[in-house]
Amino acid sequence: MRIAMLGFLGSHIVRLWLNCRDTAAISTAVLTAGCKPSSWSRAVRDVLGKQIYFTGVDALGLIIVIGLATGLSVVAQVQAWLLQIGQSELIGSVLVALLIREAGPLIVNFIVIGRSGTAMATELAAMNIRNEVRSLEAQGVDSLVYLVMPRAVGCALSVFGLAIFFNAVSLTTGLFMAVSRGAVGTDIVSFGTSVLANISATDIANLLLKTLLGGFLTGIICCRAGLSGGGKITDIPRAGTSGVVSSLAALIVLSALISIATYA
């Protein structure tokens, strides 16, 4: 019984190690190819533009709604807590810590994984089943450059842009709500100044890492899940599930590591 459990645990550890190794190798190859201007042909730029439009522009409406809801709910709760201890003037710094450092990047990454991660994995899995990937490679097209690189880069840029937009909507909503409810004893300008004053270089670096690196990993993991599937039609939903689950796990670990480094 113990031997079976050890074997089961060992096989999962080996599989996890192989997945991490493959993801790191693909990421390195994509970054290396992305640094070469010759890799960005017109066809690749078209794929990049479509990916940014689908992942970023199409998600703006959802980001606005969730940003409004987050700003209202977070500020209401934070305001109630701070008023109880007589520290309502700290609402600006608390909002920066909650929204810009933690909630903003996580929520946006979750949305992108759910919307675009599934789509990328299933699209590439379907192409793999129809032998379109082999056809491209037979014509001399590098599948890594044409299929993976623009999707990963587009996903990273979209997550960063959406996070900026989400934070702006959330903070603006919280700003007006806090002022209207008397959480701040001055005016909107003073509140906005206090929020901006609490945004440090560490917060900006934290946001950049969690959005750009998180989005990039989502693109790499989901593309890998789609391209590594078998030749059966049932492999399409499996690729989508595998890409989403692996991306969520990677995002949580990445976010935790960056937060630990930020607060250390």
Angle between helical axes of 149-180 and 104-112 (0-180°, round to 10) = 140
C-alpha span between 235 and 122 (Å, rounded): 9
Q: Dig out the tokens for 234 from the structure.
A: 């049932």
Residue 247 in contact with residue 121, Cβ under 8 Å?
A: no
- Domain residue limits, the chain: 41-263
Distance of alpha carbon 170 from alpha carbon 190, whole angstroms = 17
Q: Are 29 and 74 in contact (CB under 8 A)?
A: no
The H or E element that residue 234 is part of is none
131: left (phi over 0), alpha (psi -120 to 50) or beta: left
Buried b (16+ CB within 10 A) or exposed e, 96-130: bbbbbbebbbbbbbbbbbeebbbbbbbbbbbbbbe
Residue type, 107: I
pLDDT tens string, the chain, 264 residues long: the values are 666 676 667 777 877 788 888 889 999 999 999 999 999 999 999 999 999 999 999 999 999 999 999 888 877 677 667 667 766 667 777 777 788 888 899 999 999 999 999 999 999 999 999 889 889 988 888 999 999 999 999 999 999 999 999 998 988 887 777 667 665 555 667 667 777 777 888 888 999 999 999 999 999 999 999 998 777 888 899 999 999 999 999 999 999 999 888 877
* Neighbour tally for 137: CB within 10 Å: 13
Q: Which residues contact 253 (CB under 8 A, 6 or more apart)?
A: none
- Return d(Cα 243, Cα 260) in angstroms, integer: 26
Beta strand segments in the chain, E: none
The model's pTM = 0.89
Buried b / exposed e along 152-168 (16+ C-beta atoms within 10 A)? bbbbbbbbbbbbebbbe
Query: Helix 188-197 crosses helix 149-180 at what angle (to 10 degrees)?
Result: 140
Copy the structure tokens of residue 197. 């004053």
